[in-house]
């Protein structure tokens, strides 16, 4: 059982880091909880924990990973039967089931209109046969061409087929989100996906159909807890339907961290098979987890109301780290804020929030303006390094009253940023710095293709 491989969450930390930090503490508080790793480690160690985050999707992920919901065998079997029907409708190709397809994006030359291979580059710029050089964003359009298709026969065997274009129209009758990638009107994301201005445009057509039909199936279920658990599996599987997974010939289908939007050589997976695999894996994990935390009370709240138990508890609350008032004093505060501007959480979880908000406009996810309150570096939103440092220092200051020990986790990716943060903190408090090696892949490695990275662990003393 390892929570790390349940859902990709950017910047999620290796559980062993939290083990080091907790180090015998009994009550933990984590105001930047992300996907809930500190809560998971608290459960393993028999501690209580109060987690919070500004992002409603974080609360959803943490809440559904840490609560005691799992499905019985019969429900799983029934679901699988219905999912297989969706699979047949969406992925039947050439008398087989599409297993995976590799695409390369070609860019239309702004000069002569020919398609240019993404491999034809000099110093990062695309080079056309007509000798025009141009940047990707200057292309007239981007066209995905299929290069390789792997099918599964009805008897389960795999075979490769000749690449052919799948141009037939795919009709989608179920709801799917069509929101734009923007903070608010006329304020587009900092990292706009290549040629996708709307959420639905970064999906492969059959993937979008499969996802939309699966979501409709989930929405038809009565039990709210089951529904949420399946929605967690849904968002965890969603990448396989999008153009976000980079393809590399050597590594095969593995735990790849999706790119920050669509890479030029990408792979389409079979969403239904991903969903079923993830369902089995998460269900097994949740069953074991429920046993482990059977004497815990678990609270999840999206509207800032804190509840805590008399005995052992895990409580997950949506709140801005600066406003939050913990109801008691904790042994350890662990803080893993956004690492400067490396990952923009509102942008990264937006795709999920759009689905979760849904056709029914689930009120837990209706806040699409919390980006205003994020603590990170985003020049497009006029948040610079000094803003980040000041706000972080405010949070640290606040938790001085609520915890006996404070640990802050920071990246070493850009040295001068880290130095300025450290300088500011040292002006106010006594700070001890340790370095921690990363044991599991992080999104930062995935995005920048860098090798070995480490983290800084700061202990802040009053
Ligand atoms: C590096 S992630 C935490 C990852 C987490 N430790 C894990 O292992 O999954 C940083 C988190 O800080 C949250 N955040 C950003 N600004 C915040 C604020 N003002 N208040 C609370 N949380 C905030 C983001 O939503 C994001 O989930
Ligand atoms: Zn040209």
* pLDDT tens for each residue of 369-425: 999 999 999 999 999 999 999 999 999 999 999 999 999 999 766 778 999 999 999
**pTM greater than the 0.75 cutoff:** yes
Q: Is 30 in the pocket of ligand 1 (CB under 6 A)?
A: no
pLDDT over 70, % of the chain: 91
Measure the CA–CA gap between 293 and 258, rounded to whole angstroms: 32
What pLDDT is stored for residue 167 in this prediction?
Answer: 56
How far, in Å, from the CA of 336 to the mean position of ligand 1?
Answer: 7
Higher-confidence residue of 325 and 85: namely: 85
Q: Identify the sign of the CA torsion 119, 448, 386, 344.
A: positive
Q: Looking at the CA of 134, which ligand is closest?
A: 2
Question: What residue owns the CA closest to ligand 1's atom 3?
Answer: 34
How far, in Å, from the CA of 264 to the mean position of ligand 2?
Answer: 19
Strand 48-53 versus strand 313-318 pairing type: parallel
How far, in Å, from the CA of 113 to the mean position of ligand 2?
Answer: 6
Q: Which residue in 89, 73, 30 sits closest to 54, CA to CA?
A: 30
| Interior/surface letters 368-394, b for 16+ CB within 10 angstroms, e for the rest | bebbebbbbbbeebebebeebbebbbe
Q: Is 13 in the pocket of ligand 1 (CB under 6 A)?
A: yes
Label residue 446 by pLDDT band (50, 70, 90): very low
Q: Is 321 in the pocket of ligand 1 (CB under 6 A)?
A: yes
What pLDDT is stored for residue 381 in this prediction?
Answer: 94
Q: Check whether 307 has a pLDDT greater than 60.
A: yes
Q: Is 347 in the pocket of ligand 1 (CB under 6 A)?
A: no
Measure the CA–CA gap between 392 and 411, rounded to whole angstroms: 14
Label residue 182 by pLDDT band (50, 70, 90): very high
Label residue 295 by pLDDT band (50, 70, 90): very high
Q: Check whether 180 has a pLDDT greater than 80.
A: yes
What pLDDT is stored for residue 449 in this prediction?
Answer: 46
How far, in Å, from the CA of 396 to the mean position of ligand 1?
Answer: 14
Q: Check whether 280 has a pLDDT greater than 90.
A: yes
Residue with tokens 């202990």: 459
Measure the CA–CA gap between 414 and 388, rounded to whole angstroms: 14
Q: Where in the chain is the domain with CATH 3.40.50.150?
A: 3-67+304-346+363-461
Mean pLDDT across the stretch 73-92?
Answer: 96
Label residue 177 by pLDDT band (50, 70, 90): very high
Q: Check whether 194 has a pLDDT greater than 60.
A: yes
Q: Check whether 441 has a pLDDT greater than 60.
A: no
Mean pLDDT across the stretch 69-88?
Answer: 97
In sequence order, which residues have a C-beta less than 8 Å from that of residue 139 and are 6 or more positions away? 107, 108, 109, 110, 116, 126
Closest ligand 1 atom to Cα of 37 = 8
Mean pLDDT across the stretch 150-176?
Answer: 79
Question: Looking at domain 3-67+304-346+363-461, which CATH architecture does it have?
Answer: 3-Layer(aba) Sandwich (3.40)
What pLDDT is stored for residue 257 in this prediction?
Answer: 62
User: Packing angle between helix 37-45 and helix 56-66, nearest 10 degrees?
Assistant: 30
What is the average pLDDT score of the chain? 90
Contact 418, 411 (CB under 8 A): yes
């Amino acid at each position: 059982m390892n929570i790390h491989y349940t859902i990709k969450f950017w910047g999620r930390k290796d559980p062993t880091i939290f083990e080091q930090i907790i180090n015998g503490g009994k009550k933990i508080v984590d105001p930047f909880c992300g996907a809930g790793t500190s809560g998971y480690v608290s459960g393993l160690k028999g501690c209580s924990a109060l987690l919070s985050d500004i992002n409603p999707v974080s609360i959803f992920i943490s809440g559904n990973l840490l609560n005691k919901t799992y499905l019985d065998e019969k429900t799983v079997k029934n679901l699988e039967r219905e999912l297989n029907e969706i699979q047949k409708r969406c992925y039947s190709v050439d008398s087989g089931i599409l297993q995976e397809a590799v695409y390369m994006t070609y860019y239309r030359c702004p000069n002569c209109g020919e398609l240019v291979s993404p491999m034809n580059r000099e110093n990062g710029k695309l080079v056309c046969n007509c000798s025009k050089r141009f940047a990707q964003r200057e292309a007239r359009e981007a066209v995905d061409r299929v290069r390789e298709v792997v099918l599964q026969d009805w008897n389960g065997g795999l075979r490769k087929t000749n690449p052919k274009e799948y141009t037939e129209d795919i009709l989608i009758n179920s709801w799917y989100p069509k929101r734009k990638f923007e903070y608010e009107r006329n304020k587009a994301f900092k990292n706009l996906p290549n040629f996708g201005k709307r959420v639905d445009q970064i999906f492969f057509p059959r993937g979008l159909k499969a996802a939309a039909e699966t979501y409709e199936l989930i929405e038809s279920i009565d039990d709210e807890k089951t529904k949420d658990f399946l929605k967690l599996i849904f968002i965890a599987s969603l990448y396989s339907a999008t153009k976000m997974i980079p393809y590399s010939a050597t590594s095969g289908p593995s735990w790849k961290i999706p790119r920050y939007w669509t890479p030029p050589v990408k792979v389409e997976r079979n969403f239904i098979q991903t969903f079923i695999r993830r369902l089995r894996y998460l269900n097994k994990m949740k069953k074991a987890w429920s046993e482990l935390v059977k004497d815990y009370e678990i609270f999840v709240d999206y509207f800032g109301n804190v509840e805590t138990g008399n005995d052992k508890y895990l409580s997950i609350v949506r709140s801005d780290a600066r406003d939050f008032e913990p109801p008691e004093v904790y042994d350890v505060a662990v803080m893993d804020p956004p690492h400067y501007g490396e990952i923009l959480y509102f942008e990264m979880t937006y795709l999920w929030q759009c689905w979760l908000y849904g056709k029914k406009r689930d009120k837990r996810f209706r806040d699409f303006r919390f980006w205003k309150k994020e603590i990170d570096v985003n020049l497009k939103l006029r948040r610079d390094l000094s803003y980040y440092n000041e706000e972080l220092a405010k949070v640290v200051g606040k938790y001085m009253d609520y915890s006996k020990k404070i640990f802050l986790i920071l990246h070493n990716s850009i040295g001068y940023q880290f130095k300025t943060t450290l300088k500011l903190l040292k002006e106010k408090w006594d700070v001890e710095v340790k370095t921690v090696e990363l044991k599991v892949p992080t999104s930062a490695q995935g995005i920048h293709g860098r090798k070995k990275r480490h983290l800084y662990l700061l202990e802040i003393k009053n």
